[in-house]
Amino acid sequence: MLEMARKGVLHELHTAYSRLPGQPKVYVQDILQQQLADQVLHVLHQEQGHLYVCGDVRMARDVAHTLKQLVAARLSLSEEQVEDYFFQLKSQKRYHEDIFSAVFPYKMKKDGAAGQPSDPRAPTAHRRR
């Protein structure tokens, strides 16, 4: 992404890191609220632009919640109206989500150590629990 920004493919690049050692956590929704609220609203509402949310399901949910709050406040919309607004964005294929959920295929032991995953091909009746 830095290379794309350097080459002018991306007009702007904003990053949010929540896991840098010794640094305060910064989330996508923080960047939206603190730096990009007016720009995002302008792109979505005035320019009929697109918004892409990519990441894990929890982040996507939190970003959607923040976006709805921002749009509702800036456009003086009720909760029902803002839900309809986002339904329209999705129907117009202007709100895009590429989200994933983390799945852990192992059990946690009582001491917090990960156990071995069971063989998914093994018959259920023969698995130890």
Give the helix ranges, DSSP H, for the chain. Answer: 2-6, 28-31, 37-41, 57-75, 79-91
pLDDT tens digits for range 31-50: 999 999 999 999 999 999 99
**Residue 26 identity (one-letter amino acid):** V
| Residue with more model confidence, 114 or 13 | 13
Q: Is the pTM of this model over 0.85?
A: no
CATH classification number, 2-102, choose in 3.40.50.12780, 3.40.50.80, 3.40.190.170, 3.20.20.70: 3.40.50.80
